[in-house]
Amino acid sequence: MDHRARKLSELVAQHYELLYRYAYRLTGSEADADDLTQQAFLTAQVKWDQLRDENCARSWLFTIVRNAYLKQLRLPSCLPSSALDQVAEPPSPDELCDVDGEQLQNLLNDLPEEYRSPLILFYFEDFSYKEIAEHMGVPLGTVMSRLSRAKAWLRARLTTPELISASDSKMDA
Amino acid sequence: MNERLPQHNRADCRAARRVLEWARPGETEALPLAASNRHVESCPDCRAALERNRQLDLKIGRLCRDVPLPADLQSRLLAALQIPSDAAATDRVSKDGPMSVEVAAASVKHGPQNRLWLRHSVLAAACVFVVLGAWFVIRPPRPTLNLDELTAQVIELVDPQALPEFAVGDVPPPPRSMDTRFLRIPPKRLPGDSAALYCFRFKTPRGRIIEGRLLAVPVAQLKNAPTSSSFLGRPAVYLAQGFCSSQWAEGGYAYVCLLKGGESDLNRLLPASSVAM
pLDDT digits (tens, 9 = 90+) for A29-65: 899 899 999 999 999 888 888 887 878 888 899 999 9
Distance from CA of B76 to the nearest CA of A (A): 8
**What letter does residue B222 receive in the DSSP assignment?**
B
SS3 A70: helix
pTM over 0.90: no
Mutant choice from A4, A9, A96 vs B, greatest count of B C-beta within 10 A: A9
At residue B2, the pLDDT reads 45
Whole-number Å distance between alpha carbons of A118 and A104: 15
Contacting residues of B for A46, CB less than 8 Å apart? none
Nearest to A10 among B73, B84, B89 (CB): B89
**Do B201 and B209 form a contact (C-beta atoms < 8 A)?**
yes
Contacting residues of B for A129, CB less than 8 Å apart? 22, 24, 27
Cα pseudo-dihedral A164, A167, A168, A171, rounded to 10: -170
Whole-number Å distance between alpha carbons of A161 and B186: 119
Domains and CATH numbers, chain A: 3-72 (1.10.1740.10), 81-167 (1.10.10.10)
Nearest to B77 among A12, A24, A125 (CB): A12
**Do B194 and B221 form a contact (C-beta atoms < 8 A)?**
yes
Provide Rg for chain B, Cα atoms: 49
A148, with CB counted inside 10 A (0-12, 13-18, 19+), is middle
Contacting residues of B for A41, CB less than 8 Å apart? 77, 80-81
At residue B246, the pLDDT reads 93
**Do A7 and A41 form a contact (C-beta atoms < 8 A)?**
no
At residue B30, the pLDDT reads 64
Mutant choice from B51, B81, B95 vs A, greatest count of A C-beta within 10 A: B81
Q: Residue A14 phi/psi, 5° resolution? A: -80, -35
With an 8 Å Cβ cutoff, are A13 and B55 in contact?
no
Q: Higher-confidence residue: B161 or A68?
A: A68
* Closest residue by Cα to residue A118 from A88, A140, A87: A140
At residue B102, the pLDDT reads 34
Whole-number Å distance between alpha carbons of B197 and B187: 5
Contacting residues of B for A20, CB less than 8 Å apart? 67, 69-70, 73
Whole-number Å distance between alpha carbons of B90 and B77: 12
The pLDDT of A96-113, averaged and rounded, is 83
| Total residues found in chain B within this entry | 277
Whole-number Å distance between alpha carbons of A168 and A106: 7
Q: Residue B163 phi/psi, 5° resolution? A: -70, 150
What percent of chain A stands above pLDDT 70?
77
**A-proximal residues of B, 8-37, CB under 8 Å:** 18, 21-22, 24, 26-27
At residue B98, the pLDDT reads 39
SS3 A92: coil
At residue B203, the pLDDT reads 86
Q: What is the mean pLDDT of chain A?
A: 80
Nearest to A1 among B27, B73, B83 (CB): B83
What percent of chain B stands above pLDDT 90?
9
Residue of chain B whose alpha carbon sits nearest to that of A42: B81
**What letter does residue B271 receive in the DSSP assignment?**
T
Contacting residues of A for B21, CB less than 8 Å apart? 148, 151
What parts of chain B have a pLDDT lower than 50?
1-6, 88-112, 273-277
Mutant choice from B24, B54, B60, B117 vs A, greatest count of A C-beta within 10 A: B60
Q: Higher-confidence residue: B101 or A99?
A: A99
Whole-number Å distance between alpha carbons of B201 and B183: 7
At residue A116, the pLDDT reads 93
Whole-number Å distance between alpha carbons of B99 and B81: 19
Whether B93 and chain A come into contact, CB under 8 Å, resolves to yes
Count how many pairs of residues, chain A against chain B, have C-beta atoms within 8 Å. 128
Whole-number Å distance between alpha carbons of A40 and B80: 11
With an 8 Å Cβ cutoff, are B63 and A99 in contact?
yes
Distance from CA of A76 to the nearest CA of B (A): 23
Whole-number Å distance between alpha carbons of B94 and A10: 8
The sheet that has B243-250: what strands, in order across it?
A: B188-189, B196-203, B209-218, B253-260, B243-250, B237-238
At residue B94, the pLDDT reads 42
**Do B185 and B229 form a contact (C-beta atoms < 8 A)?**
no
Residue of chain B whose alpha carbon sits nearest to that of A37: B77
Residue of chain A whose alpha carbon sits nearest to that of B106: A3
**pLDDT digit string, tens, across residues A123-154:** 988 888 888 999 899 998 899 889 989 998 88
Residue B215: partners with Cβ closer than 8 Å, 6 or more residues away: B150, B151, B154, B195, B196, B197, B198, B255, B256, B257, B258
Q: Higher-confidence residue: B174 or A97?
A: B174
Contacting residues of A for B76, CB less than 8 Å apart? 38
With an 8 Å Cβ cutoff, are A10 and B90 in contact?
yes
Confidence of residue A80 (pLDDT cuts 50, 70, 90): low
SS3 B145: strand
With an 8 Å Cβ cutoff, are B65 and A99 in contact?
no
Whether B114 and chain A come into contact, CB under 8 Å, resolves to no
SS3 A56: helix
Cross-strand pairs, B210: B202
| pLDDT over 90 at A115, yes or no | yes
Distance from CA of B127 to the nearest CA of A (A): 25
With an 8 Å Cβ cutoff, are B64 and A124 in contact?
yes
B127, with CB counted inside 10 A (0-12, 13-18, 19+), is exposed
Distance from CA of A80 to the nearest CA of B (A): 22
Mutant choice from B27, B77, B101, B103 vs A, greatest count of A C-beta within 10 A: B77
